Amino acid sequence: MTNKLYYNGQWHEPLHQDKIDVENPATREIIASVPAASKEEVNLAIESAAAALPAWRETPVEKRIELMDSFVTLLESRQEKLAEVIVSELGTPVRLALNMHVRGYLANIRNDMEIARNYPWVDVYDGYKVYKESVGVVACLTPWNYPMGQVILKIVPALLAGNVVLLKPSQKTPLVAYEITKAIDEAGFPPGVFSLLPGRGAEVGNVLATHPLVDLVTFTGSTKGGTEVAKLAQDDVKRVVLELGGKSPSVILKGADLELALKRTLDKVFLNTGQTCSAFSRLLVPADMKEEIEQLACEKIKDYTYGDPLDESIRVGPLNGAAQKEKVLKYMDIAKEEGARLLCGGDYDNAQGYYFPPTIFTDVDNLSRLAQEEIFGPVLCITPFEDIEDAIRLANETVYGLSGAVFGPEKDAFKVASNMRAGVIVVNDGKQTTAGPFGGMKHSGYGREGGIYGFEPFVELKVVYGE
Ligand code: NAP
């Protein structure tokens, strides 16, 4: 199937020969080639989606949930296969692939089905009713770092809400999107309701973002890509949802449980080899506790074993590819130029393939490029602060505003949390769930995904008076 495109309820032979190779970052083998959809094919898919919209919008929500149930049941029966595909195209460790990339997001689908079942589709007021209608034709542009999750977070609420969907997955990780499409097809969604259009952002993405029949563009990716897409979409007054990058702080206050704070910070910054939008990549610590925290961090970093993603004991796999590795190495040079002190890890001179070890720098100037720019690798920056006000200032001294963590006595920790300009904040042992809204402020974008908040971008309001 990975040599075909999916639209109008069928797998189609590509009209052109243009292909994109998919590489396994652990072995550097080319494991598949997918077609690069052409403008002509994207147009055909959009037209089939627009034709399918009226009937799908009118399909009772119970029927949409029933189809989604068939879809998720198929995916649940293929969990190992999904994880295997994700490991091979992303390089993430096998345990993480199964537990987080697959099972975590399967739970999201069931949760969204409950939301659709209980959603207030009509609000009745005195003299008028407010109807929640689907937005229409939805284009989904997704990144490579959570190749299944980012797709699920968009297509599932969009379909349940009665939208028709066109998916352009990242060209680096399109294979799990094929597995998802296979399940959509087998579940029996009507023709045109879902399309898979692998290809390049600058080609497929641009056609989707500008086509007059597309009503909403939901984009997850870099701030650069998102702003380009938003500019294209705004000329046609399309709705736009942007889930963008981050450089999120973890703040340790005096009196914090250091074991907990370091475990949670390192877990998050090294998760998925540091290729997580909400990674806690800046650690802000009280100046007079810096040495103690540095020492503890260097002990704890040994727990983050890195290497072959197929080895079940490994927690950090390779970076996603040559471009990602070059990017991380570039920041190692920048760190030297900027005078950041390498604390542990970073034995990058000998690194083979796309592997790069978990690494910590300290004495990092918060205004340096190392602290300000998204590296998207397993690299933590430690920066000291003087007092709580200084910690808040440093936490917010970034163009991003996606996530953050605070550890310390409750009153102080909640003071910092309430002053942080970020969309998702964890305090002490608070547990992040998929039912809460996920998304950012400032250059981390707008719009939310997950739970009821991730459902609402896919509906629009219509009021009818006189009822
Ligand atoms: P990206 O380069 O911006 O690409 C994201 C998607 O958009 C890809 O499918 C890409 O196509 C397409 N695209 C990029 N530029 C485009 C343009 N100008 N016009 C049309 N389509 C375009 O991001 P990425 O490298 O895949 O993903 C990593 C980034 O995503 C990081 O910054 C990370 O923080 C962010 N992210 C954010 C969240 C969140 O929820 N906030 C979640 C995950 C990741 P190609 O196939 O050509 O690349």
Same-domain pairing of 284 and 141: no
Active-site entry in 243, 294, 374, 456:
243
Amino acid at 156: V
Q: How far is the CA of 203 from the centre of ligand 1 (A)?
A: 14
- Number of structural domains in the chain: 2
Same-domain pairing of 119 and 14: yes
Dihedral angle sign, alpha carbons of residues 225, 107, 376, 244: positive
Amino acid at 416: V
Dihedral angle sign, alpha carbons of residues 134, 137, 143, 147: positive
Same-domain pairing of 239 and 260: no
Same-domain pairing of 192 and 98: yes
Q: Is residue 438 part of a domain?
A: no
The residue to mutate among 141, 176, 243, 399, having the most atoms of ligand 1 within 8 angstroms of its beta carbon, is 141
Return the number of other C-beta atoms located less than 10 Å from residue 290's C-beta: 17
pLDDT of residue 349: 55
Contact 424, 436 (CB under 8 A): yes
Supply 259's token pair: 């074991």
pLDDT of residue 346: 85
265: containing domain: 249-433
Same-domain pairing of 222 and 265: no
**Helix 149-160 crosses helix 105-118 at what angle (to 10 degrees)?**
20
Supply 3's token pair: 């040599």
For residue 220 and ligand 1, the question of a CB distance below 6 A is answered with yes
Round to whole Å and give the CA distance between 380 and 371: 9
In the annotation, is 299 catalytic?
no
**Helices of type H across 362-465:** 369-372, 388-396, 410-419, 451-455
Supply 279's token pair: 């990674």
In the annotation, is 277 catalytic?
yes
CA 56 to chain centre: 27
pLDDT of residue 58: 97
Amino acid at 269: V
pLDDT of residue 84: 98
Q: Is residue 118 part of a domain?
A: yes
Same-domain pairing of 151 and 48: yes
Q: Is residue 53 part of a domain?
A: yes
Q: Is residue 440 part of a domain?
A: no
Residues 306-364 pLDDT 10s = 999 999 999 999 999 999 999 999 999 999 999 999 999 987 655 567 999 999 999 99
Supply 35's token pair: 């077609």
**Helices of type H across 286-409:** 290-300, 322-338, 369-372, 388-396
Same-domain pairing of 234 and 259: no
Below-70 pLDDT ranges, the chain: 348-352
Same-domain pairing of 256 and 134: no
Cβ contacts of residue 98 below 8 Å, gap of 6+?
79, 80, 83
The residue to mutate among 148, 211, 244, 268, having the most atoms of ligand 1 within 8 angstroms of its beta carbon, is 244
* Closest atom, ligand 1, to C-alpha of 171: 46
* Closest atom, ligand 1, to C-alpha of 168: 9
Question: Which strands sit side by side in the sheet containing 122-125, from one edge to the other?
Answer: 122-125, 128-134, 459-465
SS3 content of the chain, % helix, strand, coil (to 5): 45, 20, 35
Same-domain pairing of 116 and 23: yes
Same-domain pairing of 61 and 145: yes
Q: How far is the CA of 225 from the centre of ligand 1 (A)?
A: 6
The residue to mutate among 100, 108, 145, having the most atoms of ligand 1 within 8 angstroms of its beta carbon, is 145
Dihedral angle sign, alpha carbons of residues 218, 222, 225, 226: positive
| pTM over the 0.95 mark | yes
Which secondary structure element, helix H or strand E, spans residue 226, and what is its range?
A: helix 223-234
CATH number of the CATH domain containing 374:
3.40.309.10
Q: Is residue 439 part of a domain?
A: no
Round to whole Å and give the CA distance between 44 and 320: 32
Cβ contacts of residue 271 below 8 Å, gap of 6+?
96, 279
Active-site entry in 140, 277, 344, 381:
277
Same-domain pairing of 79 and 40: yes
Kindly tell me the burial class for residue 19, based on how many C-beta atoms sit within 10 Å of its own C-beta (0-12, 13-18, 19 or more): middle
- Which three-class secondary structure state does DSSP give residue 406? strand
CATH number of the CATH domain containing 107:
3.40.605.10
Same-domain pairing of 305 and 404: yes
Round to whole Å and give the CA distance between 248 and 268: 10
Q: Is residue 14 part of a domain?
A: yes
Which secondary structure element, helix H or strand E, spans residue 359, and what is its range?
A: strand 359-362
Contact 402, 444 (CB under 8 A): yes
